[in-house]
Chains A and B, each alone.
Chain A
Amino acid sequence: MAENSIDIKGLTKKYGEHIAVNKLNLTIEKGEIFGLLGPNGAGKSTTILMILGLTEVDSGSVKVCGIDSSRYPLEVKRKVGYLPEDVGFYNDYTGLQNLIYVARLNNIPEEEAKKTALEILAEVGLKDVKDSKVASYSRGMRQRLGLADVLIKNPEVIILDEPTLGLDPEGVKKFLQLIVRLSRKKGITVLFSSHHLHQIQQVCDRVGIFVKGKMLAEGKISSLAQQLFSKNAFTLEGGISTVAQDVKPSLSLKELVHKIKAIPEVEHVELKERKFMVESHRDVSAELSRLVVQSGYGLNFLSKKEYGLDDIYYQYFQEDKNT
């Protein structure tokens, strides 16, 4: 697994004065699903174009499967399937014909191309419409045809640029499941760019957050949270109630808050209408629950708050705005 599918070092791209991609370093391992997350205009597509050798690199290097893509783009394109943002097809050809054409561009002989195309169409669920013209396809069907188009060359790496754009929620779900299934089945490395947090969260092993040409953070979603919320990595939420009418709690609510604050490494406590929120450096749930119960209160629930990509995303954008 030590082999890297994509290896980017110090990649920079400028458009005039504007720096689109700024000294990007990124490695993606073989078989991994990597999500490139960033707002529009962050330089995601530019990075992808440079990975494919479709645009010139100003400085730095890109290696895909060990091949320098600015020097040997053809070799790279043989191994990489790329689904562009808002992909287009030849509308007056059928889905099958479109696929066969691409297969032939990949130097696959016609007979074999037809066979593989049919298999892949079945796999992405377009078997029934293979002989109708692409003009009649819905957005979701086109996107699936795009995926078939990428898979027909039997790639080692696939790069999907905003593949879920314009799909309905059901379509997105199916499409993402399809990607994961196919990638796991064939051991394909996937680079997936999107500005949709939830989609990335659902499918990606690792995420890179990309803003204004810079990789702000990368890693597993959980470790991203730690990187980001290193000050107060744990947040506990709980609800308290008085157990019964006749049992008087030994402490008032105010005193309880005070006591909670006294627990080592607790930073911040908030109490609002019998719900409290505790931020701390370490997991204090055990001490906290004991304290609450001993004080004569009932603990209705206590939950650790998981940081989702949402929080991470907004936190980064805030930081970005502040600087």
Chain B
Amino acid sequence: MKNKVLRVGISKLNELKLREWTSNLHSLVFRDDDAGTSKGNFPWAPFKAMVQKEISDHFRNWRFIILFVIISLACMATLFSTMADGMKAIAADSSGNSFFFLNLFTKSNGTLPPFFGFVGFLGPLFGISLGFDAISSEQQRGTLSRVMAQPVPRDSILNAKFLAGIVVISVMFFTLSFLVLGSGLIALGIPPTAEEFMRIMVYTVLSIVYVSFWLNLSILFSVRFKQSATSALLGIAVWLFCTIFYPLIANMIIKAYEPSKFASPKAIYFYEKLKFYLGQIMPNELFDGITSAILVPSIRSLGPLSMEQLQGAIPSSLPLGQSIMLVWPQFTGLLSLTLLCFLLSYIVFMKREIRSRG
């Protein structure tokens, strides 16, 4: 069953033919730039060199090191507090679900937010910090025009920056997940089940997608704005808006539509739908939905459910495949937001005239 769902997912992705699509798009946006060369034999070695350079730049960068330390300390702190006195809470809560290990990621004793909360909160900041000066700093240093004068397609610069960012994010998130897994293994003394392990891996991959959305957004800002500071501030502003202000605004709208106790079921249904969809616009809400469905197997719907749908349901946890099915729309939404940002930065960058500085 699981495999089937996965296979369906993969074939769906293949249908999108992303590669072909982007290359079509590329020739559409930027004339026939490398018509003679790229079709068939794209020069991979320069691209590889660029990605390598970007990755090593990230790892040597103090900004990255500091953020990495902060995030890992935060995660470790929650982990230890969970394990110190949250064990009781975990044990007490094991009503019906046997997913001990997942509780390490989702439960806390109340003093600190749980692991996934930290990742959801600090992840965007991490993505922004990796991308906000991607293009603008090169421009300010005067290196962009030097690189552009080399025989590499213009989009290689963007692609390399993006790919390097994703590699760095993946390394970091897998490290964190495995750290939590490992210390949980030592502390609890029981290994995670295959299902739990798979869920954690899926969760990690999805959080990489989530952070890469923020990475792309900040790359877009860095392409658009000449000053790195502007793009950094704008990135952080968007992040604050999504995490703090948007929920406030959404709440106000929802409050205004709140039906009375005696409203018709239709009105209540409308209200619930509104509440749901208002939440779904924001990337962080999408990600919250994804994490809770993946890490808490007993969640069976992210939207409103009618009584009819609940009838006859057995109160048990969903298998992984079904959980993935559940978050598929959210996942697609997140992916499309990411691609949208990427597309926009492509369009802005391809048409740009590159002067030596500024």
**A interface, CB within 8 angstroms of B:** 45, 49, 52, 54-56, 70-75, 77-78, 80-82, 84-92, 101-102, 104-107, 109, 149, 153, 161
B142 touches A84 (CB 8 A): yes
Pairwise interchain contact A74-B149, C-beta atoms closer than 8 A: no
Decide yes or no: A75 and B36 within 8 Å by CB, A87-B142, A87-B356, A88-B141 being known contacts.
Answer: yes
Contact digits for B11-37, partner A, Cβ 8 Å, 1 yes 0 no: 000000000000000000001111111
Q: State whether the Cβ of B152 lies closer than 8 Å to any Cβ in chain A.
A: yes
Contact across chains for B33 and A88 when beta carbons are under 8 A apart? no
Q: In the complex, which residues 127-173 of chain B have their Cβ closer than 8 Å to any Cβ of chain A?
A: 141-143, 145-153
Contact segment of B46-54, B240-248, B298-306, B319-327: B46-54
Assembly CA distance A77 to B43 (angstroms): 14
Chain A nearest CB from B145 CB (Å) reads 4
Question: What's the Cα separation between A106 and B33 when bound, in Å?
Answer: 16
Chain B, range 80-107, C-beta contacts under 8 Å to A: none
Q: Please give the distance in Å from B294's CB to the nearest CB on chain A.
A: 40
Chain A residues near B143 (CB-CB < 8 A): 88-90
Q: What are 29 A-B contacts defined by CB distance under 8 Å? A: A45-B355, A54-B145, A54-B149, A70-B31, A74-B33, A74-B34, A74-B36, A74-B151, A75-B36, A77-B151, A80-B149, A81-B149, A84-B142, A84-B149, A85-B356, A86-B142, A86-B356, A87-B142, A87-B146, A88-B142, A88-B146, A88-B356, A89-B143, A102-B146, A102-B150, A104-B46, A106-B150, A107-B43, A107-B45
Contact of A105 among B34, B46, B141 (CB under 8 A): B46
- Which of A70, A82, A84, A92 is most buried by chain B, counting CB atoms within 10 A of its CB? A84
In the complex, how many angstroms separate the beta carbon of A41 from the nearest chain B beta carbon?
13
B303 to chain A, nearest CB (A): 48
Q: How far is the CA of A89 from the CA of B143 in the complex (A)?
A: 6
Closest 6 CB pairs of A and B: A88-B142, A104-B49, A82-B149, A84-B356, A88-B141, A105-B150
CA gap between A86 and B50 in the complex, in Å: 22
B344 close to chain A: CB less than 8 A? no
Query: Is B353 an interface residue, CB under 8 A from the partner?
Result: yes
Q: Provide the B44-81 mask, 1 if CB < 8 A to any CB of A, else 0.
A: 01100110010000001000000000000000000000
A101 touches B37 (CB 8 A): no
When distances are taken between beta carbons in the complex, the residues of chain B under 8 Å from A153 are 150-151
Binding site for A on B (CB under 8 A): 31-37, 43, 45-46, 49-50, 53, 60, 141-143, 145-153, 353-357
| Shortest Cβ distance from residue A158 to the other chain B in the assembled complex, whole angstroms | 11
Given contacts A86-B357, A88-B143, contact A74 B37 (CB under 8 A): yes
B46 → chain A, closest Cβ, in Å?
5
Cβ of B142 and Cβ of A149 under 8 Å apart?
no
B52 to chain A, nearest CB (A): 9
B35 touches A72 (CB 8 A): yes
Nearest-CB residue, chain A, relative to B145: A84
Closest partner residue, chain B, to A77 (CB atom): B151
**Chain B residues with CB below 8 A from A71, complex form:** 31-32, 35
Residue of A nearest to B43 (CB): A107
Chain A proximity of B249: nearest CB distance (Å): 39
Give chain B nearest CB distance to A151 CB in angstroms: 13
> A104 with B149: in contact, given A71-B32, A74-B34, A86-B356 (CB under 8 Å)?
no
Q: How far is the CB of A50 from chain B (nearest CB, A)?
A: 10
A69 to B150 CA separation, bound complex (whole angstroms): 13
**Chain B, residue nearest A92 (CB):** B60
**Given A54-B148, A85-B356 in contact, is the A109-B32 Cβ separation under 8 Å?**
no
Contacts A54-B149, A72-B35, A153-B150; A107 near B353 (Cβ below 8 A):
no
CA distance A55 to B148 in the complex (A): 11
B45 touches A104 (CB 8 A): yes
Q: How far is the CA of A81 from the CA of B152 in the complex (A)?
A: 13
CB-nearest residue of chain A to B47: A105
Query: Which residues of B have CB within 8 Å of A80?
Result: 149
Cα separation A82 to B143 with both chains bound (whole Å): 12
Task: Please give me the residue from chain A that is nearest to B139 by CB atom.
Answer: A88
Which residues of the other chain, A, contact B32 by a CB distance below 8 angstroms? 71-72
Tell me the bound Cα distance from A102 to B146 in angstroms: 9
On chain B, the residues within 8 Å of A105 by CB distance are 46, 49-50, 147, 150-152
Q: How many angstroms from the CA of A191 to the CA of B64 in the assembled complex?
A: 42
Q: A100 to chain B: closest CB distance in Å?
A: 9
Alpha-carbon gap, A315 to B353, bound state (A): 34
**In the assembled complex, which residues on chain A have CB atoms less than 8 Å from the CB atom of B45?**
104, 107, 109
A161 touches which of B34, B46, B356 (Cβ 8 Å) = B356
- Of B150, B353, B357, which one neighbours A49 at CB under 8 angstroms? B353
The residue in chain A whose Cβ has the minimal distance to the Cβ of B50 is A105
Q: Given known contacts A72-B35, A72-B36, is B150 in contact with A77 (CB within 8 Å)?
A: yes
User: Are A84 and B35 in contact, CB atoms less than 8 angstroms apart?
Assistant: no
Complex CA–CA separation, A49 to B46 (angstroms): 22
Chain B residues closer than 8 Å to A74, beta-carbon distance: 33-34, 36-37, 151-153
Alpha-carbon distance A87/B144, docked complex (angstroms): 9
Cα of A205 to Cα of B140 in the assembled complex, Å: 35
What is the CB-to-nearest-CB distance from A53 to chain B, in angstroms, rounded to a whole number? 8
